[in-house]
């Protein structure tokens, strides 16, 4: 209840990132590409003396890069001691939640279900609460995950 | 030897401290096998170490304790309080003896037998009473330990310590994570400085800022050096003890072993050195005891009598790999498997599904030993499991590979907690990547004729020192677009892996050498197994560090134990059989075909013509921060933009020989025609149908050889007025000088170049033997007295440059 959320647009949808996890919002300048890595890793970039891994959120969800515009801003998060810059469409606002995350019958669609913790009601309307671990894991995670479960 | 002894004392103490708690706990519950293991390892290590140092009494005590404990571990004996007491008495005695060793005193004779007897290895323990034990412990430290006492080990330690206060170097102990924090703070500071430096360069020359910035840079690099030294130690300190260890062990076991050490200059964390010490010693012991056969057995198998043990260290990104290989009998897969099934480590059905490699890794399981006989050296099932535990504790790993009858190869990977490494920046497809310097054997421009780039099937090959070496195109490895540069016009970076394999990596351009602060990459990026980390360039751009070892193994360029060991053996044999002299062929600037003995050539360097200082009496160049004399330059201007230089070394002195073109390494013919007319020519040789002048190394070094001189900035003393400080000083600094303040009287500034004003100059300011540059304030005044108008930049700069090469350079 009443947690701060960073409201963002990812692939045209409104998503909520827990404000506690977002270290800062940066303007992406040059991104150094990293060859031979999955496509959703846009590259690495520097914030102060820190190297950030840039994750293209449209690609990690499985959408086409060209379908959505981005304003080149990124939310910086830290997972497992590593810093990531999430390249998203736009950052809208910071707002508070007005309820607990809940599920919607029928799910959120194949692309979204993997990264969604559920729907969350906020002061500025409903949004999809994003699971950051799942988001940075990339689109292959579910596939390999189910393979592992089968093995 | 004193160092080693100090290490031994410190190590034993440390282990004693660490096992203190365990001993107390074991006493409370003698049946606790985990505690038993810890204490067992302690006595085992002490036994091993003192065998090395020739402390027979310590060895005797620890061996006896080990025997008793081994019986307990094997279940042949039930630990009871009498045994615990006896073992503890021995542990205390060891501690007291170690104190005596450190103080350099003799430990009172006798008493050991009674302590050993108290263990009751052969007879019934009940026979012994506490009283006997007390009598036995003549040494002040040995007291019977009453069960439940809290500080058993301390009792042994304390009384002795109080009266031994040898002059020890003052030191304090700090938690490592504090050092880590300081270190990463300094690393970030370096990056921030680089960023600031970049911005300053963009903003143009700003004398008021540049001065303090220079100072900041110097201070920062000093601090960084100090911090790095605080944590880093060359692995040599570890290696230096090994030849002796190998010698003693092989003598004891009646074997002949030769040791080959490589990569001693790899630096790693002081703490890591300590962590590796034990594992490495254990592996070497095992290799000599179990791996390498007796000379007669070796001869029977058609091997050379002398076994070869080679240990190589390499740094790659955030890890150091140490490869220990021997050419002994190798690991017996079947025996390991049988033993593992017998001891219940695996089931027979599991065995059936396991690959050879998996079976071999079983030797790292606790309680595993295939040795039939227990010797004084190794083989009690303690060792490899401890090795693995210790390595894994610090985030390292160990692997083994082996070929029956041919050899065994252990690969240890240890992480570096901090990482500033020397790296080379290369470019391919408009993107830059870094390669750790430690892998680089040589850089060859592909235009060199000798390289002979060819494709056999899909595999690219280059010729390096007469051998065909596989070549990877970096653009292919990274799946980048093919560049406009022709395939055979790439620059080749020859890389040598820790396993000894050599391969070439083709890149488009070489950028710079420099220190890189390596930071770990996100797991998703690491998964590609191409990168070892990331770093930031001076301009703040991130750069990826290539993981050379993984790239090589992806392309199957890492050989297994067999080829590695074979290669060395053959080389040695070849060297034994006949001495072939080889020489490096080159064309000098007067288009003469010349050769120089290959042994003299340390490296081939390429330097821009501007890096060669022609202004002095002898031309000089700066390579890797060293000032070296250059010979073989043409008269007048250097015709090419870049000059190829052969870096020759006689082991102590070095010189650079400029050449027009480098040809190839060739074998010298047996017949050489001595040349008498030109002292610089040793002989004329006939190579490939034409005559070649072989340079006389002796004469070359007599005339030009100098010990390499570290590049130090010459000093310049300037007047102490405002004008000099704000306007003159930056100019002098940019001319490559270090400023000495006019008033300070440094002892070493005698030779400093001095800048004085004609108007103010006095006899006093002109003392000293360095050059003097005289300035005048008025444009027209004082013509003809050799002074320079203070705003005549050109004249001032050239005077500074001249003074530098004349006197300032040689301090």
Q: Closest by alpha carbon to B604, among B464, B710, B466? A: B464
- pLDDT > 60? residue B405: yes
Higher-confidence residue: B470 or B17?
A: B470
Rounded mean pLDDT, B568-586: 55
Are residues B675 and B765 located together in one domain of the fold?
no
pLDDT score of B564: 38
Share of chain A above pLDDT 90, in %: 11
Residue with tokens 């365990």, as numbered in its chain: B22
Least confident segment among B59-63, B410-414, B459-463, B632-636: B632-636
Is residue B572 a part of any domain in this protein? no
pLDDT score of B809: 41
Least confident segment among B403-417, B541-555, B632-646, B775-789: B775-789
pLDDT classification of B784: cutoffs 50, 70, 90: low
**At CB < 8 Å, which residues of chain A contact B?**
30, 32-38, 41, 44-46, 48-51, 53, 80-82, 84, 136-138
The pairing of beta strand B654-659 with beta strand B626-631? parallel
Share of chain A above pLDDT 70, in %: 90
pLDDT score of A54: 92
Are residues B554 and B615 located together in one domain of the fold?
no
- pLDDT > 60? residue B598: yes
CB-based contact, B472 to chain A, within 8 Å: no
Rounded mean pLDDT, B242-269: 83
Residues of A with Cβ-Cβ distance to B536 under 8 angstroms = 46, 49, 51
- pLDDT > 70? residue B582: yes
Å between A42 CA and nearest CA of chain B: 11
Are residues B217 and B79 located together in one domain of the fold?
no
* A/B interface, count of CB pairs below 8 Å: 68
Higher-confidence residue: B710 or B733?
A: B733
Query: Which two three-digit tokens encode residue B456?
Result: 């056999």
pLDDT score of B393: 62
ipTM of the complex: 0.84
pLDDT classification of B394: cutoffs 50, 70, 90: low
Are residues B187 and B222 located together in one domain of the fold?
yes
- pLDDT > 70? residue B353: yes
Residues of A with Cβ-Cβ distance to B192 under 8 angstroms = 48-49
- How many domains does the structure of chain B reveal? 6
CB-based contact, B195 to chain A, within 8 Å: yes
Largest CA distance in chain A: 45
Are residues B43 and B136 located together in one domain of the fold?
yes
pLDDT score of B375: 47
pLDDT score of B318: 63
Residue of A nearest to B475 (CA): A35
pLDDT classification of B673: cutoffs 50, 70, 90: confident
pLDDT classification of A140: cutoffs 50, 70, 90: low
- Report d(CA B472, CA B487) in Å as an integer: 11
- pLDDT > 60? residue B137: no
pLDDT score of B246: 84
Are residues B600 and B729 located together in one domain of the fold?
no
Q: How many alpha carbons fall within 13 Å on the CB side of residue B756?
A: 18
Q: Closest by alpha carbon to B228, among B416, B414, B420? A: B420
- Report d(CA B419, CA B434) in Å as an integer: 14
- pLDDT > 50? residue B374: no
Judged by phi (left if over 0) then psi (alpha if -120 to 50, else beta), residue B594 lies in beta
Out of B648, B675, B710, pick the residue that ends a domain: B710
- Residue of B522, B530, B555 to mutate when probing chain A, most A C-beta within 10 A: B522
CB-based contact, B672 to chain A, within 8 Å: no
CATH number of the domain encompassing residue B410: 3.30.565.10
pLDDT classification of A142: cutoffs 50, 70, 90: very low
- Report d(CA B502, CA B494) in Å as an integer: 7
CATH number of the domain encompassing residue A78: 2.40.50.180
CA distances from A16 to A60, A133, B127 (A): 16, 14, 77
Q: Facing residues of B492 across strands? A: B444, B506
- How many domains does the structure of chain A reveal? 1
Model pLDDT for residues B181-224, shown as the tens digit of each residue: 787 788 778 777 877 887 888 888 778 888 888 888 889 888 87
CATH number of the domain encompassing residue B599: 2.40.50.180
Q: Residue B221 contacts by C-beta under 8 Å, 6 or more apart in sequence?
A: none
Domain that holds residue B199: 178-233
Secondary structure class of B694 (helix, strand, coil): strand
- Report d(CA B714, CA B738) in Å as an integer: 6
Higher-confidence residue: B761 or B618?
A: B618
pLDDT score of B768: 53
- Report d(CA B536, CA B540) in Å as an integer: 6
pLDDT score of B465: 77
- pLDDT > 60? residue B563: no
Are residues B745 and B682 located together in one domain of the fold?
no
Are residues B199 and B66 located together in one domain of the fold?
no
Higher-confidence residue: B311 or B755?
A: B311
Q: Facing residues of A84 across strands? A: A53, A77
Model pLDDT for residues B83-132, shown as the tens digit of each residue: 777 887 788 788 888 888 877 777 777 777 777 777 776 544 333 333 34
CATH number of the domain encompassing residue B123: 1.20.120.160
- pLDDT > 70? residue B449: no
Rounded mean pLDDT, B169-180: 71
- pLDDT > 50? residue B294: yes
Model pLDDT for residues B260-273, shown as the tens digit of each residue: 888 888 877 776 78
Residues of B with Cβ-Cβ distance to A38 under 8 angstroms = 524
Nearest residue, CB atoms, B542 vs list A37, A51, A138: A51
Are residues B612 and B658 located together in one domain of the fold?
yes
pLDDT classification of B548: cutoffs 50, 70, 90: confident
pLDDT score of A86: 92
Are residues B250 and B395 located together in one domain of the fold?
yes
Å between A2 CA and nearest CA of chain B: 32
Residue of A nearest to B551 (CA): A36
Higher-confidence residue: B240 or B394?
A: B240
Query: Which two three-digit tokens encode residue B26?
Result: 């074991």
Rg (alpha carbons) of chain B, rounded to whole number: 33
CB-based contact, B196 to chain A, within 8 Å: no
* Length of chain B (residues): 811
Residue with tokens 């001495």, as numbered in its chain: B579
Are residues B11 and B154 located together in one domain of the fold?
yes
Helix, strand and coil percent figures for chain B, each rounded to 5: 40, 25, 35
pLDDT score of A85: 92
CB-based contact, B454 to chain A, within 8 Å: no
Rounded mean pLDDT, A111-117: 84
Out of B710, B734, B754, pick the residue that ends a domain: B710
- pLDDT > 80? residue B574: no
Domain that holds residue A97: 4-150
Residues of A with Cβ-Cβ distance to B187 under 8 angstroms = 49
Highest-pLDDT range among B381-385, B514-518, B677-681, B692-696: B692-696
Q: Residue B423 contacts by C-beta under 8 Å, 6 or more apart in sequence?
A: B434, B435, B436, B437, B513, B514, B515, B516, B535, B545
Out of B163, B189, B205, pick the residue that ends a domain: B163
Sheet order of strands, B788-789 included: B738-740, B715-717, B753-757, B772-776, B788-789
pLDDT score of B566: 37
Q: Mean pLDDT across chain B, nearest whole number?
A: 74
Å between A34 CA and nearest CA of chain B: 8
Q: Closest by alpha carbon to B492, among B448, B457, B548, B532? A: B448
Are residues B188 and B124 located together in one domain of the fold?
no
- Report d(CA B174, CA B648) in Å as an integer: 44
pLDDT score of B750: 55
């Amino acid at each position: 209840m009443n947690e701060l959320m960073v409201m963002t647009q990812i692939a045209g949808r409104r998503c909520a990132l827990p404000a506690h996890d977002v270290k800062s919002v940066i303007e992406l300048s040059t991104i150094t590409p990293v060859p031979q890595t999955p496509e959703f890793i846009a590259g690495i970039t520097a914030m102060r003396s820190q190297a950030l891994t840039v994750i293209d959120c449209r690609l990690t969800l499985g959408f086409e890069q060209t379908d959505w515009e981005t304003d080149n801003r990124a939310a910086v998060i830290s997972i497992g001691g590593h810093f990531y810059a999430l390249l998203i469409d736009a950052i809208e606002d910071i707002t508070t939640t007005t309820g607990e995350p809940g599920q919607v019958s029928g799910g959120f669609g194949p692309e979204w279900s993997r990264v969604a913790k559920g729907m969350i009601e906020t002061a500025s309307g409903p949004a999809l609460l994003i699971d950051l671990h799942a988001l940075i894991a990339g689109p292959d995670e579910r596939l390999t995950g189910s393979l592992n479960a089968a093995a | 030897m004193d160092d080693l002894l100090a290490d031994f004392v410190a190590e034993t103490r440390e282990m004693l401290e660490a096992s203190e708690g365990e001993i107390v706990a074991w006493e409370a519950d003698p049946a606790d096998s985990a505690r038993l293991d810890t204490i067992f390892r302690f006595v085992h290590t002490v036994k091993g170490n003192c065998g090395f140092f020739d402390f027979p009494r310590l060895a005797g005590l620890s061996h006896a304790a080990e025997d008793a404990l081994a019986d307990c571990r094997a279940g042949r004996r039930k630990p009871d309080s009498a045994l615990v007491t006896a073992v503890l008495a021995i542990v205390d005695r060891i501690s007291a003896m170690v104190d005596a060793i450190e103080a350099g005193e003799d430990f009172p004779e006798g008493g050991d037998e009674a302590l050993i007897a108290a263990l009751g290895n052969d007879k019934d323990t009940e026979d012994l009473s506490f009283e006997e034990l007390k009598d036995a412990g003549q040494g002040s430290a040995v007291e019977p330990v009453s069960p439940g006492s809290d500080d058993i080990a301390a009792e042994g330690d304390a009384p002795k310590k109080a009266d031994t206060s040898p002059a020890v170097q003052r030191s304090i102990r700090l938690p490592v994570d504090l050092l880590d924090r300081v270190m990463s703070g300094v690393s970030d500071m370096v990056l921030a400085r680089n960023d600031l430096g970049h911005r300053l360069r963009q903003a143009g020359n700003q004398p008021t800022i540049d001065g303090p910035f220079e100072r900041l840079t110097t201070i920062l690099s000093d601090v960084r050096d100090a911090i790095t030294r605080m944590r880093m130690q060359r692995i040599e300190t570890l290696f230096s003890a090994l030849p002796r260890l190998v010698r003693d062990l092989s003598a004891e076991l009646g074997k002949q072993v030769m040791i080959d050490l490589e990569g001693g200059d790899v630096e790693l964390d002081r703490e890591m050195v300590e962590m590796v010490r034990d594992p490495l010693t254990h592996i070497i012991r095992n290799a000599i005891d179990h791996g390498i056969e007796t000379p007669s057995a070796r001869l029977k198998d058609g091997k050379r009598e002398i076994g070869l043990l080679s240990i190589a260290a390499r740094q790659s990104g955030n890890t150091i790999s140490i490869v220990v290989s021997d050419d002994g009998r190798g690991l017996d897969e079947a025996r390991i498997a049988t033993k593992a099934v017998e001891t219940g480590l695996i089931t027979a059905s599991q065995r059936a599904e396991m690959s050879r490699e998996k079976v071999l890794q079983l030797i790292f399981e606790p309680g595993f030993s295939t040795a039939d006989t227990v010797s004084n050296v190794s083989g009690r099932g303690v060792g490899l499991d401890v090795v693995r535990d210790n390595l894994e504790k610090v985030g390292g790993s160990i692997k083994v590979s082996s070929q029956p009858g041919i050899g065994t190869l252990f690969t240890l990977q240890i992480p570096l907690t901090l990482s500033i490494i020397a790296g080379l920046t290369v470019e391919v497809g408009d993107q830059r990547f870094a390669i750790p310097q430690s892998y680089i054997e040589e850089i060859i421009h592909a235009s060199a004729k000798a390289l002979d780039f060819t494709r056999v099937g899909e595999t690219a090959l280059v010729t390096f020192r007469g051998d065909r070496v596989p070549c990877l195109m970096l653009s292919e490895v990274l799946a980048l677009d093919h560049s406009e540069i022709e395939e055979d016009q790439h620059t080749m970076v020859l890389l040598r892996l820790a396993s000894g394999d050599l391969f070439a990596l083709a890149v488009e351009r070489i950028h710079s050498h420099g220190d890189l602060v390596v930071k770990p990459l996100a797991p998703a990026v690491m998964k590609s197994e191409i990168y070892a980390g990331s770093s930031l360039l001076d301009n703040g751009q991130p750069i990826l560090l290539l993981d050379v070892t993984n790239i090589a193994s992806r392309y199957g360029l890492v050989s297994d134990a067999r080829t590695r060991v074979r290669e060395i053996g053959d080389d040695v044999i070849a060297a034994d059989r006949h001495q072939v002299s080889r020489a490096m062929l080159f064309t000098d600037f007067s288009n003469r075909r010349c050769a120089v003995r290959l042994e003299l050539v340390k490296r081939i360097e390429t330097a821009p013509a501007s890096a060669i200082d022609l202004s002095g009496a002898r031309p000089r160049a700066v390579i890797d921060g060293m000032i070296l004399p250059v010979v073989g330059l043409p008269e007048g201007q250097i015709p090419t933009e870049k000059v190829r230089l052969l870096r020759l070394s006689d082991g102590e002195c070095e010189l650079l020989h400029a050449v027009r073109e480098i040809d190839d390494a060739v074998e010298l013919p047996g017949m050489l025609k001595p040349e008498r007319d030109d002292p610089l020519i040793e002989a004329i040789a006939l190579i490939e149908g034409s005559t070649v002048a072989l340079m006389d190394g002796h004469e070359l070094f007599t005339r030009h050889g100098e010990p390499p001189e570290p590049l130090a900035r010459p000093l310049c003393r300037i007047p102490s007025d405002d004008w000099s400080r704000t306007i003159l000083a930056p100019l002098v600094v940019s001319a490559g000088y270090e400023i000495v303040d006019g008033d300070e009287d440094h002892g070493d500034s005698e030779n400093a170049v001095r800048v004085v004003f004609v108007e103010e100059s006095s006899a006093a300011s002109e003392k000293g033997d360095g050059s003097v540059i005289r300035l005048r304030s008025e444009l027209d005044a004082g013509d003809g007295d050799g002074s320079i108008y203070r705003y005549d930049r050109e004249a001032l700069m050239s005077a500074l440059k001249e003074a530098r090469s004349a006197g300032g350079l040689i301090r």
